[in-house]
């Protein structure tokens, strides 16, 4: 079975079953195991001199381990590859988490804040309804790239080793890739490599959102809006999603009690948002996923 055909099966398995609690309440998720290894290395090696060199060594060790693990599992045929790929894709769980914010908002603002706090790192205690909805939509757009399109892309390019390498680097970036006194040096390699691995998938994600909603007629505007984002990659899916829903994303937000004045993406879009905008985002996520599935299916055919 071809890599593309295995990926089609994995995308469908993930969409059908997502993250079954009965399984992950009993077994550690592979991403959790990756996180434990990275956390142990952070505690063990992130001290003293040459922290940047230690961080580079850690990333090289993670890549090497992921590569050989993927190669070994691939020896057992297409089925374990499909199952592991499905586990490491996150479309169903992404939509479930984003939709939970909209459902929470329909109950109360406090419940919406509680739900969105599960998926964003910014301060949520003083968010109004629009800020809660905006945060959920931004998280949905960014994680469509990081959690679905990027892992699918690297599986298509490098098989299971490619997918495992991407996931372990992305996990490392989420844990140690911060510009803080503790992690600026130790997490430098993880952050830079994650930016590199997401460069193409982020733009592919924006293209999929655009193609499945309004074609490429707004592509130049998406490019310009993406430049406003502090991330070299996250701005692309956010800018495309903002255009698809006709909403303004990004803008001012608070981290650790400090308000930061980020510019709006698609500033002429709607700024007053509700649970309906979150639900529209969920529909857009599935439509974009469908576009990705169609592309991979064509690869599998030809």
The pLDDT of residue 235: 93
Residue 259 has pLDDT above 80, yes or no: no
* Tally of structural domains, the chain: 1
Q: How confident is the model at residue 215 (pLDDT cuts 50, 70, 90)?
A: confident
Crossing angle between the packed helical segments 78-88 and 51-74, to the nearest 10 degrees: 140
- Residue-wise pLDDT for 94-111, tens only, equals 999 999 999 999 999 999
- The answer to whether the Cα torsion of 230, 135, 282, 173 is positive or negative is positive
Domain extent, residue 193, equals 3-301
Over the stretch 139-195, which tens digit does the pLDDT of each residue have? Answer: 999 999 999 999 999 999 999 999 999 999 999 999 999 888 899 999 999 999 999
Spatial neighbors of 242 by CB under 8 A, at least 6 apart, are 141, 225, 248, 249, 265, 266, 269
pTM over the 0.85 mark: yes
What pLDDT sits at residue 62?
97
Report the pLDDT value the prediction gives residue 83, as an integer from 0 to 100: 96
Q: ∠ CA 220-223-228 to the nearest 5 degrees?
A: 135
Is 200's pLDDT higher than 90?
Answer: yes
Q: What is the pLDDT of residues 261-295, one digit of tens each?
A: 888 899 999 999 999 999 999 999 999 999 999 99
The answer to which of 26-30, 73-77, 214-218 has the lowest mean pLDDT is: 214-218
Q: Which of 227, 286, 288 is nearest to 99 (CA)?
A: 286
Do 132 and 103 meet the contact criterion of CB atoms below 8 Å apart? Answer: no
Residue 254 pLDDT > 80: no
- Give the pLDDT of residue 141: 97
Residue 255 above 90 pLDDT?
no
Asked if pLDDT for residue 132 goes beyond 90, the answer is yes
Paired tokens of 99: 């939709």
Residue 78's pLDDT is what? 96
Q: How confident is the model at residue 131 (pLDDT cuts 50, 70, 90)?
A: very high
DSSP class of 270 = B
| Residue 91 burial by Cβ neighbours in a 10 Å radius (0-12, 13-18, 19+) | buried
| 115-122 contacts, C-beta under 8 A, 24 or more apart | 119/143, 121/255, 122/253, 122/254, 122/255
Helix (H) or strand (E) holding 264: strand 264-265
Distance of alpha carbon 218 from alpha carbon 210, whole angstroms: 8
Q: What is the pLDDT of residue 25?
A: 82
Return the percentage of the chain with pLDDT > 90, whole number.
82
Q: What is the pLDDT of residues 9-33, one digit of tens each?
A: 999 999 999 888 888 888 889 999 9
The pLDDT assigned to 24 comes to 80
pLDDT at 257 (0 to 100): 72
- What is the DSSP secondary structure assignment for residue 250, as one 8-state letter? E
pLDDT value, residue 246: 95
Which one has a higher pLDDT value, 276 or 1? 276
Looking at residues 76-86, what average pLDDT do you find? 96
- What local confidence, expressed as pLDDT, does residue 202 receive? 98
**Cβ pair 300, 11 in contact under 8 A:** no
For helices 188-211 and 129-144, give the axis angle rounded to 10 degrees. Answer: 100
What does the mean pLDDT of the chain come to? 94
Token reading at 81: 């590859």
CA-atom Rg of the chain in angstroms: 19
| Burial bucket for residue 85 (CB in 10 Å: 0-12, 13-18, 19+) | buried
Q: What is the mean pLDDT of residues 226-255?
A: 90
d(CA 279, CA 188): 36
Alpha helices in the chain (DSSP H): 3-17, 21-24, 30-45, 51-74, 78-88, 91-107, 109-116, 129-144, 150-176, 188-211, 219-226, 235-245, 275-301
Cα–Cα dist 122/111, whole Å: 16
Confidence of residue 230 (pLDDT cuts 50, 70, 90): confident
């Amino acid at each position: 079975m071809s890599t593309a055909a295995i990926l089609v099966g994995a995308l469908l398995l993930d969409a059908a079953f997502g993250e079954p609690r009965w399984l992950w309440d009993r077994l550690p998720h592979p991403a959790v195991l990756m996180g434990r290894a990275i956390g142990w290395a952070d505690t063990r090696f992130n001290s003293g001199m040459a922290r940047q060199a230690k961080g580079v060594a850690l990333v090289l060790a993670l890549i090497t381990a992921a590569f050989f693990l993927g190669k070994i599992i691939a020896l057992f045929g297409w089925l374990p590859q499909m199952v592991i790929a499905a586990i490491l894709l996150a479309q169903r769980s992404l939509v479930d988490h984003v939709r939970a914010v909209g459902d929470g908002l329909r109950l109360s603002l406090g419940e919406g804040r509680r739900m969105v706090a599960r998926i964003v790192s910014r301060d949520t205690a003083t968010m109004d309804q629009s800020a809660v909805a905006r945060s959920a939509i931004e998280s949905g757009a960014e994680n469509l790239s990081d959690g679905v399109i990027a892992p699918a892309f690297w599986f298509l390019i490098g098989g299971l080793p490619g997918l495992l390498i991407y996931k372990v680097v992305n996990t490392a970036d989420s844990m140690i890739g911060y510009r803080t006194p503790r992690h600026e040096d130790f997490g430098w390699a993880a952050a830079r490599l994650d930016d590199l691995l997401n460069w193409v998938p982020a733009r592919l994600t924006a293209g999929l959102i655009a193609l499945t909603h309004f074609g490429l007629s707004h592509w130049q505007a998406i490019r310009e809006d993406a430049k406003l984002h502090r991330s070299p990659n996250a701005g692309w899916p956010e800018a495309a999603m903002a255009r698809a829903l006709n909403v303004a994303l990004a803008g001012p937000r608070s981290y650790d009690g400090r308000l930061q004045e980020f510019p709006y993406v698609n500033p002429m879009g709607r700024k007053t948002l509700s649970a309906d905008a979150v639900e529209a985002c969920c529909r857009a996520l599935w439509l974009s996923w469908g576009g990705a599935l169609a592309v991979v299916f064509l690869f599998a055919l030809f």
